[in-house]
Structure 1
């Protein structure tokens, strides 16, 4: 990937549908998410369509699904399919995977295989949907594997639109997505590179504390329009965390076009703006320093 040719790297996009038409989550959960984001009726783009979208904008994008088979009973989209499809667009798409921590040793073996054979660069966790606390020792063998492989662990944090307003929240427990639960992970796996996804409502201060305190913990800005960012998040992004904040959209429910239009009106220093959109992600994902 030629980072010098890019204007931005979106570190948070979802593969919602497989080539066969299988969806990443049940229709009820996906529908609740679309309603929550005001994106009801949006098309679920294929990975090839995602590549065309980002290529037209001179952007790259991290792509992943969510494996929550244990908690939901809904089969995931195969990580291998996503990685293979991303490999067809090497200058645009960056494959991440998702492995349900409840899969134990089988999940550890899968992580090694996905990195070695499919070029996967990171792993997405959604504790609320997957039904586990990030500091639960059941996930530790998987974290150890990800750390040893030099890959990234991306954790959903804060409230989720998935299951919103569905009876009982669709069984999804918000407490598992408190970013403070990731602090133990950062302590016990000090070389593991971690992204806390989203402004972490209602735990924004906790996320800022963990990212400020732990060397390899980053924050992505996906899932919210920038005009709604909490003021303390903007303040830290402009100062103490300017090297650890990342552009993410949550595509397709929030498009980069909408996100970037609102970001343009945010009070962010010009030197920091480029870090957030491109340079921080290039360093984290590829070890590249852009001029």
Structure 2
């Protein structure tokens, strides 16, 4: 991947449909989240996503979410996502997802996906996967991820999945409070944690964790920047300028829309390239070492 050529690195892109047409969410949750975000196209394949980002000289971190225990829906295969990313390695970076309720099998899957399929990190969605990320039952997963030096993205804050469905589709928002990740950051200081999204209604908690814990970052996906809380913008341009990352949540929000609204934020010119590319390139190990 030619990082110098890229205009941006999107840290948060979903693979929501397989090449065979299998979707990552049950139909009722897929429809509800599409309505919540007014998303026009929920079904680009990974290859189509690659073409979209290639046209824009951007790279993207791509993942699905394995929430079979909570939803009963078989996931899109991590191996298939990784293979599609490998075909498009000039613009796509594969992350994996494992259901934490699978225990030792999930740990084995993490190791296998990293060793055999080139997966560069993992994504968890505590509300959708129905687990408290600070629960000790998930600690063996974090031990493996820390050992392998693989970054982890956690959904935080309210989720559009289940929004408007009776009972929210049974999805509990409390599992995505960013303060739950503070335990992880304290107990696994070598684990790089990315808190995804402006963490409504816990934005101040997210900022506090990111300021306090050196290994914790924030991606700005899932919201148009014009709706960002002023405090988040202030921290992104100052104390956290090296720890905030561009993310869109494509295909729910397009990078075109996100970037157009990002241009209107009150940020210093030198901060913008940090958020759009340089912080992510450093976190993902994409920067060339000095002298080569």
TM-score, scaled relative to structure 2: 0.98
1:143-222 alignment to 2 at 5 Å?
143-222=142-221
- Does the aligned pair in 2 maintain the 1:111–1:146 contact within 8 Å? yes
Query: Which position in structure 2 is the counterpart of 1:11?
Result: 11
Q: What's the CA shift string for 1:176-233, capped at 9, x where partnerless?
A: 0000000000011000000000000000000000000001100000000000000000
Question: RMSD of aligned C-alpha atoms?
Answer: 1.2
Query: Which position in structure 2 is the counterpart of 1:47?
Result: 46
Deviation at 1:288, TM superposition (A): 1.8
In structure 1, runs of 5+ residues without a counterpart are none
Deviation at 1:235, TM superposition (A): 0.3
- Does the aligned pair in 2 maintain the 1:226–1:262 contact within 8 Å? yes
How far apart are the structure 2 equivalents of 1:20 and 1:146? 30
How far apart are the structure 1 equivalents of 2:225 and 2:191? 28
How far apart are the structure 2 equivalents of 1:281 and 1:130? 26
Query: Which position in structure 1 is the counterpart of 2:254?
Result: 255
Please say if 1:23 is aligned against 2:9. no
1:47-196 alignment to 2 at 5 Å?
47-196=46-195
How far apart are the structure 2 equivalents of 1:158 and 1:223? 10
Please say if 1:225 is aligned against 2:260. no
Deviation at 1:38, TM superposition (A): 1.4
- Does the aligned pair in 2 maintain the 1:4–1:290 contact within 8 Å? no
3-state DSSP of counterpart to 1:280: helix
Runs of 4+ displaced beyond 2 Å: none
3-state DSSP of counterpart to 1:120: coil
Query: Which position in structure 2 is the counterpart of 1:244?
Result: 243
TM-score, scaled relative to structure 1: 0.98
Question: How many equivalent residue pairs?
Answer: 290
Q: What's the CA shift string for 1:245-283, capped at 9, x where partnerless?
A: 000000001000000000011111111000000000000
3-state DSSP of counterpart to 2:284: helix
How far apart are the structure 2 equivalents of 1:54 and 1:243? 24
- Does the aligned pair in 1 maintain the 2:221–2:247 contact within 8 Å? yes
- Does the aligned pair in 1 maintain the 2:177–2:202 contact within 8 Å? yes
3-state DSSP of counterpart to 2:218: strand
How far apart are the structure 2 equivalents of 1:112 and 1:212? 30
Deviation at 1:43, TM superposition (A): 4.0
How far apart are the structure 2 equivalents of 1:100 and 1:267? 39
In structure 2, runs of 5+ residues without a counterpart are none
Deviation at 1:42, TM superposition (A): 2.1
How far apart are the structure 1 equivalents of 2:213 and 2:188? 11
- Does the aligned pair in 1 maintain the 2:16–2:42 contact within 8 Å? no
How far apart are the structure 1 equivalents of 2:34 and 2:97? 21
